[in-house]
Amino acid sequence: MEKLTQQQLGHLKDLLNQRDQALRDDIRREVNLQDDYAQLASDIPDPGDSSFANLSVDLGNAAVNRDIAELRAIQTARLRMENGTYGECIDCGFDIPYERLQAQPMAERCAPCQDMYEKTHADAMKGSTL
């Protein structure tokens, strides 16, 4: 089984960092439109902060909630990089192709497993912010 090279991992990490930054900018822009949220915007903690996970319930803003859900996915991907499970499908355990990770650096499943997951969780996905 072909593992990701350090160079490929580094590139994917860059993609995650860029996405992370873009999402944070988005969130700040979104919340600044609403005075009530201005304080929260300045309080957005680092993804490593445990209070980060609780943030979305306080914001009645779908766009922001979606951004935060994606930030959480980025955080999860980083943790997986740290513990060496990044790039493995969480369902079947096979390696996710590098091409797929480049398009979707937060991917936790290979394409067939993701299809299956979305089919079997169709109802749950509807109400999901992801």
Residue ranges binding Zn ion (CB under 5 A): 89, 91-92, 110, 113
SS3 88: strand
44-79: burial string, b at 16+ Cβ within 10 Å, e else: beebeeeebeebbeebebeebbbbbebbbbbbebbe
The CB-of-46 to Zn ion minimum distance in angstroms stands at 31
Question: How many residues belong to the chain?
Answer: 130
The CB-of-87 to Zn ion minimum distance in angstroms stands at 11
Residues 19 and 70: beta-carbon distance below 8 Å: yes
Q: Which two tokens stand for residue 90?
A: 């969480």
Task: Kindly report the number of other CB atoms within 10 A of residue 5's CB atom.
Answer: 10
Q: Considering beta carbons, is residue 4 or 110 the nearer one to Zn ion?
A: 110
The CB-of-99 to Zn ion minimum distance in angstroms stands at 15
Q: Considering beta carbons, is residue 107 or 110 the nearer one to Zn ion?
A: 110
The CB-of-89 to Zn ion minimum distance in angstroms stands at 3
Q: Considering beta carbons, is residue 40 or 90 the nearer one to Zn ion?
A: 90
Q: Considering beta carbons, is residue 53 or 92 the nearer one to Zn ion?
A: 92
